[in-house]
Amino acid sequence: MSLALARKYRPKTFATVAVQSHVAGTLKGAIARGRVAHGYLLCGPRGTGKTTLARVLAMALNCAKKQPDGEPCGECPSCTRIWSGNASLDVVEIDAASNRGVDDARDLRERAQYAPSGEHGYKVYIVDEAHMLTREAWNTLLKVLEEPPPRVVFVFATTEPQKIAQAAAPVLSRLQRFDLKRIGPADVRERLAAVLAEEQVVAEPEALAMLARAADGSMRDALSLTDQVLSWGDGTLTPQRVRDALGLVPEDETLALFDLILDRKAGDIFAAVARLADHGVDFNVLLSNISDLLRAQLAIALGGTPPDISDRLHAALDARKGRAASGDLVRMLVMLVDLEPHFRRSSQQQLLLETMLVRFALLDRTLDLEAVLTGVMSAPHGSPSSGGGGTSRAAPSRAEPLRPDVMRAAPAARESDAPRAAAPRLRDSGEARPMAVAEAPPPRPSARAPQATAPGAAAGPVADVAAPAALMPAEINRLAEFWDEIVDAVRRNGRGTLASMLDYATPQAVAGNGTVTLAVDTEAHGDAIAQGADLVLAALRSRFSGVERLVVKAQQAAPMERLTEERVMERRVEQLRKRDPILDAAIGALDLRLMP
């Protein structure tokens, strides 16, 4: 019986190990210079050459005819036995997946005490899937790895080195670690072409490219898939033959779905996916094809060259260039990435795929938030988009959120489209409180307030508030209306902490003697505001006339509020409105709400 291609063409020398020259060259140099370590850890994805390098190392250490540069001959009886995996006195391969316990580790430690059979040979223990060893097994091997017997070499191969670090971190300092790289499609195609030429099989370049993509960086998988395709029939290795043998989805089917998305034919997607399901298409493969197609189309849209696609697909995507904006393609890829972790383990893959494709087809109905806000701010006063009076108003369509802070227009109509009177916004301090309203008479010499006050200095710092042509009289409603500007002025003067405290303060009253009273939740907030009273008074005087003193009152603590999801959303909206005036205007004009 003939050997499988993965076994028949396993490399016999360091030079023939594909891609991993950084590891092969180091190991070969260590043998040539007599600097062989007692322990190695080979890490990397499956099928990249870990076990092969371990065997070639064992062959070189025990080869009677090895070359001066450290390469084994690959032909002597010792090399032949080791390369084929047959029984050898000096080379032992252990599968840690089935020999992972402490008893197996004790047996390995005891066997390591025996000397090699040859006078100049080495005993090499190759432990595959080393991450499967238990913590106790590693502890048993720790001493022999730290002080091994003469001419004994341990080689551990693993795809998950992080598990070894978690189970037995001290072991890593006793071993030389080498990380093997994934094998790129170009290297896989080159190796497959050489193997098929040796097998006297003619292969089309596109068929080799399809095999290289399906291998996903594993040379062993590439050779195994090639074996599978060769079993399908005789003659030239064609793309159709590869597709039939591996159950791949034809490019035409993926392009047909992409055309439905570009043409915005969301209703036709269900029938197209159902037809593919009737033909037994693997939805995981189809999802992978869609992601590759979108990635390639994005590269073409940005003026780049998409890698690893056929010339036919490249020409088809070139013809579709410009039909989908690069921003839409990016959003599609983001949705696809978010879906993939759930898709792999879902029992409703067809439904998830249909939903995703429909969302792709409806991307033209989404809103650009930046454009909406720009339109709101640039619209003339009193127009529908600026929240003024009017009987008709363009309602934004329902759209998927582009990011967590994007708002959606509420479907229900507002109570009134009439212009809203400017009303003071109460900051949350546990519960809503009524605000006292008092007319401020012309200023007069102030008396000392009975409460703890912070006197205002006439030569205090100047706040960064543009003074109007005429100062407004200090009146509670106007003070509450312009309170955000006062806070922003304090913040622009470099007092961010003080401004943060003022965010939690509420103008409560303006007395006839020019005393402005602020209500805060805690005494700590009051003390912080009192220390910066000069700056607060300067900001108030730049906007209002007759302001003489600042009084800060700590309110009695309100009972703890039970937070609900709705209340959390309200608080988040309040924070966003304070942070961005444009967004504040959009929320008021369009009645936006925050999506969960």
Which amino acid, 225? Answer: L
Which sign, positive or negative, has the C-alpha torsion 67, 73, 79, 85? positive
Per-residue CA distances from 431 to 150, 426, 481, 505 (Å): 79, 10, 20, 13
Which amino acid, 193? Answer: A
CB 518 within 8 A of CB 550: yes
Report residue 375 as tokens.
């339109």
What is residue 438's predicted lDDT score, i.e. its pLDDT? 33
Report residue 133 as tokens.
């060893």
Per-residue CA distances from 173 to 41, 44, 156, 168, 177 (Å): 10, 18, 13, 10, 9
Domain boundaries, the chain: 5-179, 185-246, 251-365, 453-554
Q: Strands 152-158, 123-128: parallel, antiparallel or unpaired by DSSP?
A: parallel
SS3 category, 52:
helix
Which residue in the block uniquely carries the two structure tokens 């197996």? 104
How far apart (Å, rounded) are the C-alpha atoms in residues 212 and 98? 31
Per-residue CA distances from 401 to 148, 294, 575 (Å): 61, 20, 19
SS3 category, 189:
helix
What is residue 459's predicted lDDT score, i.e. its pLDDT? 37
What is residue 148's predicted lDDT score, i.e. its pLDDT? 85
Which residue in the block uniquely carries the two structure tokens 């989805």? 249
What is residue 454's predicted lDDT score, i.e. its pLDDT? 40
* Residues pairing with 93 in the sheet: 126
How far apart (Å, rounded) are the C-alpha atoms in residues 248 and 45? 23
User: Which class is domain 251-365?
Assistant: mainly alpha
Which residue in the block uniquely carries the two structure tokens 């090699």? 116
What number does CATH give the domain 185-246? 1.10.8.60
What is residue 152's predicted lDDT score, i.e. its pLDDT? 92
**Identical topology for domains 5-179 and 185-246:** no
DSSP 295-309: HHHHHHHTT---SS-
What is residue 374's predicted lDDT score, i.e. its pLDDT? 67
Looking at the chain, how many residues does it have?
596
Max CA distance (Å), the chain: 112
How far apart (Å, rounded) are the C-alpha atoms in residues 425 and 481? 8
How far apart (Å, rounded) are the C-alpha atoms in residues 548 and 538? 10
Task: Write 22-31 long-range contacts (CB < 8 A, 24+).
Answer: 22/178, 23/53, 23/178, 23/180, 24/53, 24/56, 26/178, 27/53, 27/56, 27/57, 27/60, 27/70, 28/60, 28/69, 28/70, 28/71, 29/70, 30/70, 31/57, 31/60, 31/61, 31/66, 31/70
How far apart (Å, rounded) are the C-alpha atoms in residues 99 and 132? 9
Report residue 321 as tokens.
């260039």
What is residue 575's predicted lDDT score, i.e. its pLDDT? 75
What is residue 373's predicted lDDT score, i.e. its pLDDT? 64
What is residue 342's predicted lDDT score, i.e. its pLDDT? 86
What are φ and ψ of residue 397, in 5° steps? -75, 160
Nearest residue to 352 via CA among 336, 330, 334: 336
Report residue 537 as tokens.
């008074």
CB 308 within 8 A of CB 364: no
* Backbone angle region of 261, left / alpha / beta, with phi > 0 → left and psi within -120 to 50 → alpha: alpha
Report residue 266 as tokens.
């969301």
Residues 6+ apart with CB under 8 A from 155: 39, 40, 42, 54, 57, 58, 124, 125, 126, 127
**DSSP class of residue 363?**
G
**455: enclosing H helix or E strand:** strand 453-455
What are φ and ψ of residue 574, in 5° steps? -60, -40
**DSSP class of residue 276?**
H
**191: enclosing H helix or E strand:** helix 185-198
How far apart (Å, rounded) are the C-alpha atoms in residues 452 and 533? 12
What is residue 167's predicted lDDT score, i.e. its pLDDT? 85
Nearest residue to 507 via CA among 469, 471, 539: 539
The CATH superfamily assigned to 5-179 is P-loop containing nucleotide triphosphate hydrolases (3.40.50.300)
Asked whether the whole model's pTM tops 0.85, one would answer no
Q: Residue-wise pLDDT tens for the chain (596 aa)?
A: 467 888 888 888 898 888 888 999 999 999 999 899 999 999 999 999 999 999 999 999 988 888 888 899 888 888 888 888 776 788 888 889 888 888 888 988 888 888 888 777 899 999 999 999 999 999 999 888 988 888 899 999 999 999 999 888 888 989 999 999 999 888 999 999 999 999 899 999 889 988 998 888 899 999 999 999 998 877 788 888 898 888 888 888 999 999 999 999 999 999 999 999 998 888 998 999 999 999 999 999 998 888 778 888 889 999 999 898 898 999 999 999 999 888 988 889 999 999 999 999 998 776 565 566 666 666 554 444 444 443 333 334 333 433 333 333 333 333 333 333 333 333 333 333 333 333 333 444 333 333 433 443 333 444 444 444 467 787 888 888 888 888 888 888 777 788 878 887 888 888 888 888 888 877 777 888 888 888 888 888 888 888 888 888 877 554 555 667 777 777 777 777 777 777 777 777 777 776 66
Report residue 535 as tokens.
């700056």
SS3 category, 421:
coil
